[in-house]
Structures are given as structure tokens and as C-alpha cells.
Structure 1
Amino acid sequence: MDEKDIEKKMQEAWNAPVTEQPQGKKEALWQEFAREAFPIKKKRRAWVYSAAALIVLSLSIAAYFTLSSTGNSNSAQAYTIIENPSAIIKKVMLPDSSVVELEPHAEIRYAENFKHNRKVTLSGEAFFSVQKDKQHPFSVACGKTTTTVLGTCFTVSSAGHNSVRVNLYEGRVQMNVKDTQSSWILSPGEQFVYKDGRVAVEAFNRFSDFDNTELSTIIAYIKTTYGYSVEIPAEYLEKKITLRLNKKENLENVVGIIAQMYELKPTIDEKVKKITLQ
């Protein structure tokens, strides 16, 4: 076997799929290759076995990195874990600028390469406002369910491993359940319920309606829903307004609507959670 043949054999060995084989079979395959490639004098035997050790070591290294890259090695993948041990909602900004509002005692986990691998694991309940990225779908694994989106707003909540509820407020999502071939597409206002192996898709009311309602009532709603107090000149409190608000509407949008209707200037103080309209 000349040098080109040897090089070809080694290239084939390197490119071959890395699979585990019985030790005896490994040795037999090596002996067969060694006899063809190195039918030389005994004094070269030490070099032959050194080459064998080198190739086995190279294949072992290749196997290690293959396992690491496919996620079969838990130690190779680093995760970020965010918990909310408090009694109030915790707002979290993900690396792709998506926003998560963690309910008390909820937890999320995601890989450090999140911008290219937008997969979140959730325990508990959270609201997600997802940045659109057609190249990298966003998914939330919760119990036996997976919610997959491109960019939208929805809540996911679990009550144990076999009970999950997903409420969709904007956009569309695809639902999948572990060990099943079916999938479900939700539209805004639809709720996906998984419990003890059964699935139901139902309508729910995603709006808060205010019909000719005093502004003081809207202010109380903002305090209850978002946790922000509102300061506004007294003469506006009894003014009446008709509004339909998405229950998960962004606070800045709600404040902006009121400010525009009454030609007021809004200021939001995040430190004390206070909104001033003047």
C-alpha cells in the first residue's frame, strides 16, 4: 500500500461515523489495516502501535466533540436559570430582547447560545412577548407541551407535569405534545389546555372592556394589572372613556392612549412605579 492509499485509508477512518464498537472488533480492524499499510520489519512495530494509539485517540476526541455538539453531554452545554422567589411579577429581558414576566415562584432556563437557539424551559407561569425572528423560531417547553412561535404574545402556565394551559393574545402559535404526532395551531383568543393526556382548544376573553367608564376606574385597573400608581389632575378623574384593552397590553401603550385622548404628557418613574400625567 503506497502513501496515497495510506492517506486515503486514514481519511476514510477520520470521516467515518463515530460509533461504539466492541474492543475486540476495534483491535481486529486495526490489525487488518496495519497489515495492509505497514507490512514492514519488526523494528517498525512500535511506530505502528503508536500510530494506532494516535488514531484511536483522534477518534475518541472526535466522538467527544460530536457528543458535545449534539447535546448528549450535559456538562458541555451551559444554561442560564432565572427564578422568581418573590410574591410579585418579575420582568426579564432575554438576550434576543424578548420579554418574560415571571409569576411568583416561576422559573425559566435557556442555553447561553440563546440568540441562535431560542428554546426556553418553563416551570410555573409566565407571560411571553416574543421578538420576531423568522430564522430562529422561539419555543417554550412546559411539562409535556411545547409552544413554538416566530413572534407573538402569550401566557403559559403549569400545575404539575401533566397540566398545562396556553393563552394566545397576539399572532399564532403551534402546540405539540410529547409522544404524539398531532399539532395544534392557535389563533388570538384561543386557549390550549392539556391535562392528564387530554387536549382541548377553547375560546377565552382576551380583552378588558370599558364602556363609558370614569377615568378613575381605568387608573384603578392600571394599578391592579400593572402595579403602577397614576397621578393625574383631579378634573380628569370623572371624565368618561370607552376603551377595549388587550389584557396583556403593554403598559406604555395604555398610558399613551390616555395621554393622547386628553392631550397630556406622560412620565413613568420605574423606580417607584409611578405614572404622572400632566
Structure 2
Amino acid sequence: MFLPNKVFSVKSFNLKKWIKKFDEEFKKLWNESPLSYSDNEKEASWEQFHSKTFATEKRKLKPWRYYSAAAVLLFVLIGTGIYFNNKPQQQNIVLAENVIENRTSKIKYVVLPDDSKLELSPNSKISYGTNFALNRKIEIDGEVYFKVKKDKQHPFQVFCNETTTTVLGTSFIVNETEDEKVTVELYEGSVQMNVKGKDQKWILKPGEKFTYGNQIASVEEFSRFIDFDNEKLSVLSQYIEKNYGYKVILPSENLDQKITIRINKKEDLKTIVQLISEMYNLNFEINEDLKQITFQ
């Protein structure tokens, strides 16, 4: 801790004002802790530190006491935060009161207690605690596509093998293969990747894939779009049926009409349907019971 290059006289130095300024600056630094801690946790931790370090009865001590406290706090921040990181590792705290498995051959759609949505692939499983809306931590086994509802107060974390995905955005896939290799593909927003036992973190951008296996982590680009270049509309209909599970019925006169379009592979189905409707001036009806989309 370096003090300003200035000499204070006894008359000009106002200890109370200086201490108040110190408190304010320290609290700003303290609140720049990792994203995985809520504002409430930061505030509680600050109060704990503040009460121990700057207690009222200690304010009568000599200024060097406060210089020492400043040095301690800077050390805490540089060392990633004793008060925060002395907590047990978050890797194994997810409880399994709620377990959802997909033992079918089709994608299973799930809405979580915080209104986040996910697609559970065949032979996949998720588990989370009963207080999920406040403690948004979830463990997965297999492949899951997430569309996370934003909540800055409650970070969303996905635990898979030794990796932790902290959600800073909305749309991504986490997949664990049989050989315990984990991949995360980001479609929208951003996510932060951490690996147990490693200090490094990786922040992904849309179109980037994180892979971890055999103690090796890597990031590479992947194609998050599919292109239909002057294809028949019936080809797009087949794509919808295969990837979304809805049968598409088109008027016979539109089957051979051509379309050129780029689609995010995880685009919302209704967005695609509305786009077709506007491009070809068609009305549509979606029958959820029959899983059928009819254009007319």
C-alpha cells in the first residue's frame, strides 16, 4: 500500500474525514468480487470485515492501524478474497432433492422453478435443490440445452464433471460424453467456464465451444447456424420436423417454392414459423396436442 506523495501537517490532517473516505473506497473495491456472489452476500461479508477491522472503539488508535488495515484489505482482494473464497468449494454443494431424467428417445422439455427452460436430450439427467429459485445451481449428466432467465441477483451455475459453467447470458448447450469429456457450446449471450483445481477461467462468446477432457481445456469456434441456399420450402419443413418434432403441412402450391435463409440452430420455433408466414403471406395454426403446424 503506497501513501500519496504528500506531507500532512497536524493541523491539515483530518483523521475522521480520511477514515470515512477510506471506508468508502474499500467498500467499492470489496464489491468488485467474483460474479458468483450475490449483492446480499457481498454486503454481509463487508459488514463482517468492517466490524472486525474498523470497529468504533478502534477509531481512536493511531493512523498506522488504518494503513495496516488497508494493506490487509488489498492483500485480500489481490488474493481473490479470503472472506469469500474461504467458503467450501461450490463444486459439490448441489443437492439432489429434484431429479429429472429423460429415458425416452425424444427431447424432453423442462421449465425450472426460476422459469428458465431447457431441453433434456435422451438418456440425460438433471438435479437441483428445493430452493433453486434463490440458489440457481444445477448438476447435469448427459446433454442439456439451456435458455436461462436473467437474474443478476442469483447467478445460474451448471456443474458437469469437474467443470462449472457460470451463466452470463442466455442460450447454450452443456454435454458430457461417456468418456467424461465436457463440451459447452454458446449460442447467445456469454458464459464463464471454470475447472476444478485450476485458477484460469474462460469467458465464451457466441459461436465458441469449450471442451474439457483428460485435464486439458480448449476453446474453438463452431457453426451455430444452418443455411438454406435456394432450397425448396419443403426442405425447411423437413428440418423443422426433424429438429423440433413438429410436422409441417404446407399448401401444395408452396411446396416447391424456393427459400434462402440462415437460421440459428437453436432458434425459437415460433420465430421460424412467423418468418415463413410473413415471407409467403400465409396464415398458420400450431396444434400442440398433435405437434403439427398447418399453413394456409
CA contact 1:124–1:159 (8 Å) conserved in 2 = yes
Matched, 1:133 2:176: no
Q: What's the TM-score, normalizing by structure 2?
A: 0.67
- Equivalent of 2:99 in 74, 81, 87: 81
Q: What's the TM-score, normalizing by structure 1?
A: 0.71
Matched, 1:217 2:235: yes
- Equivalent of 1:192 in 186, 202, 210: 210
d(CA) in 2 for partners of 1:85 and 1:78?
Answer: 18
- Equivalent of 1:166 in 173, 184, 187: 184
d(CA) in 2 for partners of 1:161 and 1:214?
Answer: 40
CA contact 1:132–1:151 (8 Å) conserved in 2 = yes
CA contact 2:96–2:127 (8 Å) conserved in 1 = no
d(CA) in 2 for partners of 1:147 and 1:161?
Answer: 19
- Equivalent of 1:95 in 95, 113, 133: 113
Moved over 3 A (4+): none
Per-residue CA deviations over 1:13-56 (Å, capped at 9, x if unaligned) read xxxxxxxxxxxxxxxxxxxxxxxxxxxxxxxxxxxxxxxxxxxx
CA contact 2:111–2:117 (8 Å) conserved in 1 = yes
Per-residue CA deviations over 1:155-212 (Å, capped at 9, x if unaligned) read 0110247410010000100000011111000000000000110011011000000111
RMSD over aligned Cα atoms: 1.9
User: Post-superposition shift, 1:83?
Assistant: 0.4
d(CA) in 1 for partners of 2:179 and 2:148?
Answer: 24
d(CA) in 2 for partners of 1:215 and 1:102?
Answer: 29
Question: Once the two structures are aligned, what percentage of the paired residues are identical?
Answer: 51
- Equivalent of 1:104 in 122, 125, 136: 122
Per-residue CA deviations over 1:207-243 (Å, capped at 9, x if unaligned) read 0001111101100111111111101111111111111
CA 1:131/1:151 → structure 2, altered by over 3 Å: closer, same or farther? farther
CA 1:221/1:135 → structure 2, altered by over 3 Å: closer, same or farther? same
d(CA) in 2 for partners of 1:151 and 1:191?
Answer: 15
**Higher-Rg member (1/2):** 1
d(CA) in 2 for partners of 1:148 and 1:265?
Answer: 41
Tell me the number of residue pairs that the alignment of Structure 1 and Structure 2 aligns: 206
3-state secondary structure, aligned to 1:167: strand
